[in-house]
Amino acid sequence: MKLTNGKLTEVILDSLGEGLFTVDKDFRINSLNRAGEQMFGVKKADVIGDFCKNVFKSKRCFGECPIERVLENGASVYDLESEMVTKKGRRLPVKINASVLKDAENKPIGGVVSFRDMSHLETIQKNLINASGFHGVIGRHKSMVEIYKLIEEVADSHSSVMITGESGTGKEMIADAIQKISSRKDKPFVKINCSVFPPQLLASELFGHVKGAFTDAVKDRVGRFEIADGGTIFLDEAAEMPLQMQVQLLRVVQEGTFERVGESITRKVDVRVIAATNKNVNVEMQEGRMREDLFYRLNVIPIEIPPLRQRRSDIPHLVQHFLKKYALISGKNITEVDDEAMDYLTGYQWPGNVRELENAIEYAFARSKDTIIHASKLPLNIRAGIKCTDRLPEENMPVQADEYLLLKNLLQKHQWNRSRVAAEMGIGRTTLWRRLKAHGFVNE
Amino acid sequence: MSEMLGNRYFLARQFDKAIPYLEDALAQNPDGDKIKKKLILCFIQTGQIERAFSLFYELIEKNPNIIIDTDIYYDDCPCNELIPEWEKKSKGEEKSLEYLETLAMLYLYCNVNKSLSYLKKASRKADNPAKIITVMNRLPKV
């Protein structure tokens, strides 16, 4: 039996795992697929002809509608975080893609919105955040606690932030935390890595271009600064930006004004800038690769993230966090690392910092069949690293003193329940006993 | 300019932003009654009462039912939100002609009798009430 075009489209849409609806130019729903019906607990027949805002009741319906954004900017929306409300009133976290449908004359005649249910991921995130510390950032070392305090203090500020730290220390996570608690948290948050674009393309990415501005500019394009208007932009690897671009960036940071590539109209935006770099900024300025005026403009609120080797007491917490994360993602019931593995992990230098630690845990997770990660499952370089390198203490606090205080605090917190202390530290009871004995907490 | 974007701003009650898009849509489709109905409300909410009344008059001359048959839910008409705001605005003050015309226009989307009552008051207040009287005569007496 052959299907008519309309029926075929319906069958295709109903076979999708993502929810999807389309609206006409008045924003009345004219189709809803089966996954969408199931997610919202509604029947297609009951909602066709109704306004989408009356059915999906998202807060975006009254503020930043994704289709509105597409109509304004000309670019489709991908992975926009939002919430919808089901027929029974349950809040549904979703990620949205949106596009505009146009007729033969290129006039908008409707829109299509697809959405993925993110409840599962939100539960994972909540569990991890609750177990960690500060909006997804893990670490209880005093240097990290100082950073959390600073972020909270400047939450309502619109000043620029400059995050420095070695590669893998979590600069982007700190930027995420700043955004999450800032007054711009419900506004766009746009991220761009400045080091991956050649100069001409970077200008186009940041400021947009008009049709014909350069060979491949076949149509007008909105830049990241315009998309971020009202919100925040995260410029990763900002120190690697070409000098000419730094002049243009300085102007946006100072005045909020810029021109699209190939256009003379000056546009104005209100964007908070968070920049990050793993370079030594002083060296970059001395050698003329970074403009001083830009640096001082960006560095209004400086945040320096210490490398992992300077906060080793955080390693067990990070290990525990990544164990939980990969257990949730993979479904494997791996809950701890054995004592020997933990010794390797806390003794290693971690040149790649937290990112390298996460990769090591993911690697060990993939290799482990047991409920415990054994040392033999860790990457070879980590096991080799401990043999050829003596453990280096943290720079700001001797390991012994740090560990003594940590043990003391945890013993008090858990009323000397050693199982709980071991669990919180992410180590086995035997290792804990050895450490307690070394610090004179136990005599047996 | 996109009519769809104008519709979107109207749905989000961003009347000032909707105006240029709806005006452009009307220029391309001068018989667009739905666009005119929205523009009347946009003009009212941006204080352009004379322009609102001029469009209102056009529609009444054509067919008053275009406005009277408005369905508050199905047409997403904001008059239920706007009327209390306007009535609250001049509580205790002497009612101006613009105020009376505004409420007459808003009420016609949901309550013909109330609209007529405001039109009567406006006709008494106006120096030249010809247009207001024409509107009154075109409305059905309920």
Q: Which CATH number is A279's domain given?
A: 3.40.50.300
- Confidence check on the interface: ipTM exceeds 0.90, yes or no: no
pLDDT at residue A218 in the model: 72
pLDDT bucket at A197, cuts 50 / 70 / 90 = confident
Of A3-12, A108-117, A405-414, the range with the highest mean pLDDT is A108-117
The pLDDT of residue A2 is 54
Task: Please list, in sequence order, all residues whose beta carbon lies within 8 angstroms of the beta carbon of residue A332, skipping any fewer than 6 positions away.
Answer: A326, A365, A368
CB-based contacts of A5, cutoff 8 Å, min separation 6:
none
From B2, B8, B13, residue closest to A27, measured CB to CB: B8
Q: Is residue A19 a contact partner of residue A41, using CB atoms and an 8 Å limit?
A: no
pLDDT of the residue at A17 = 85
Contact A278, A108 (CB under 8 A): no
In a domain, residue B30? The reply is yes
Of the residues B11, B35, B73, the best mutation for testing chain A's interface (the one with the most A CB atoms within 10 Å of its CB) is: B11
* Domain coverage including residue B10: 3-137
* Mean pLDDT for chain A overall: 85
Lowest mean pLDDT among A21-30, A114-123, A184-193, A380-389: A380-389
Q: How many CB pairs under 8 A join A and B?
A: 41
**A209: β partners:** A221, A261
Mean pLDDT of chain B, nearest integer: 91
Confidence tier at A394 by pLDDT (50, 70, 90): very low
> Which pLDDT belongs to residue A410?
84
Residues A295, A315, single domain; the answer is: no
- Phi and psi angles of residue A359, each rounded to the nearest 5 degrees, phi first: -60, -40
B74, closest residue in chain A (CA to CA) = A50
Name the band, by pLDDT with cuts 50, 70 and 90, for residue A93. confident
| Smallest Cα distance from A60 to chain B, Å | 10
Torsion of CA A317, A318, A323, A326, to 10 degrees: 150
Position A83 in a domain: yes
**Cβ contacts (< 8 Å) between B12 and chain A: which residues?**
61-63, 65, 68
Q: What is the pLDDT of residues A306-343, one digit of tens each?
A: 999 999 989 998 998 899 889 888 888 898 899 899 98
| pLDDT on residue A126 | 62
Do A288 and A324 fall into the same domain? Answer: no
Is B8 in contact with A100 (Cβ distance < 8 A)? no
Q: Tell me, yes or no, whether A149 and A285 share the same domain.
A: yes
Query: Residue A133 falls within a domain, yes or no?
Result: no
Residues of A with Cβ-Cβ distance to B74 under 8 angstroms: 49
- Which of A277, A304, A331 is at the close of a domain? A304
pLDDT confidence bin for B105, thresholds 50/70/90: very high
Q: Within an 8 Å CB–CB cutoff, is residue A53 touching chain B?
A: yes
Nearest CA distance, A118 vs chain B (angstrom): 26
- Which residue, A157, A137, A136, A226, is CA-closest to A188? A226
Q: Would you place residue A130 in the very low, low, confident or very high pLDDT band (cuts 50, 70, 90)?
A: low
Nearest CA in chain A to B38: A26
Instruction: Let me know if residue A111 belongs to a domain.
Output: yes
Let me know if residue B13 belongs to a domain: yes
pLDDT digits (tens, 9 = 90+) for B62-102: 999 999 999 988 889 999 889 998 888 776 667 889 999 99
Count of domains observed in chain A: 3
What total number of domains does chain B contain?
1
| Contact by Cβ (8 Å): B98, B48 | no
In a domain, A134, yes or no: no
Tokens found for residue B15: 């009347």
Q: Using CA atoms, how far apart are residues A273 and A228, in angstroms rounded to an integer?
A: 10
- Chain B residues within an 8 Å CB radius of A53: 11
Does B36 map to a domain?
Answer: yes
Residue A147: pLDDT band (50, 70, 90) is very high
Q: Is the pLDDT of residue B37 over 50?
A: yes
Among residues A259, A283, A304, the one where a domain terminates is A304
Q: How many CB atoms lie within 10 A of CB A220?
A: 17
The reply to whether residue B8 touches residue A61, judged by beta carbons under 8 angstroms, is: no
- In chain A, residues with a C-beta closer than 8 Å to the C-beta of B2 are 71, 107-108
In a domain, A127, yes or no: no
Owning domain of residue A242: 142-304
Q: Does A228 touch chain B (CB under 8 A)?
A: no
Residue from A68, A102, A112 whose CB has the most chain B CBs within 10 Å, to mutate: A68
Mutation site for B-interface testing, chosen from A71, A73, A112 by largest number of B Cβ within 10 Å: A71
Task: Report the residue from B8, B73, B76 with minimal CB separation from A67.
Answer: B8
Task: Name the closest residue on chain B to residue A100, using Cα atoms.
Answer: B4
A388 and A329 housed in the same domain: yes
* Per-residue pLDDT at B28 exceeds 80: yes
Whether residue A300 is contained in a domain is answered as yes
The per-residue pLDDT for range A405-435, each reduced to its tens digit, is 778 888 888 878 888 888 777 777 777 888 8
Residues 6+ apart with CB under 8 A from A268: A255, A256, A257
Q: Is A188:A231 a contact under the CB 8 Å cutoff?
A: yes
Tell if the CB–CB gap between B5 and A68 is shorter than 8 Å. yes
A154, A242: one domain: yes
Judged against a pLDDT cut of 50, whether residue A398 lies above it is answered with no
| Cβ contact A72–B11 (<8 Å) | no
Residues A292 and A335 in one domain: no
Residue A205 covered by a domain:
yes
Residue B142, domain member (yes or no): no
Q: Which residue of chain A is at minimal alpha-carbon distance from B9?
A: A68
The CATH number linked to A364 is 1.10.8.60
- Mean pLDDT over A14-24 rounds to 90
A64 to chain B: closest CA residue: B12
Note whether A25 contacts B76, CB cutoff 8 Å.
Answer: no
- CATH code of the domain containing B95: 1.25.40
The amino acid sitting at A351 is: P
- Residue A28 reports pLDDT greater than 90: yes
Q: How confident is the model at residue A400 (pLDDT cuts 50, 70, 90)?
A: low
- Would A137 be classed as within a structural domain? no
Same domain, A168 and A274: yes
For residue A61, give the chain B residue with the closest CA: B12
Q: Are A85 and A146 part of one and the same domain?
A: no
Residues A156 and A296 grouped into a single domain: yes
Same domain, yes or no, for A337 and A397? yes
The mean pLDDT value for A49-74 works out to 85
Q: Does the pLDDT value for residue A127 go beyond 50?
A: yes
Give per-residue pLDDT as tens, A203-245.
Answer: 888 999 888 877 777 778 889 999 999 999 999 999 888 888 8
pLDDT at A392: 42
Question: What mean pLDDT do residues B3-25 have?
Answer: 94
**Do A219 and A290 lie in a common domain?**
yes
Domain end marker among A283, A304, A325: A304
**Residue at B129 is within a domain:** yes
Amino acid A442: pLDDT = 73
For tokens 């164990």, the residue is A323
Please check whether residues A271 and A394 belong to one and the same domain: no
Residue A113 pLDDT exceeds 90: yes
Looking at beta carbons, which residues of chain B come within 8 Å of A60? Answer: none
Between A76 and B67, the more confident residue is: B67
A chain contacts of residue B8, beta-carbon cutoff 8 Å: 27, 65, 67-68, 71
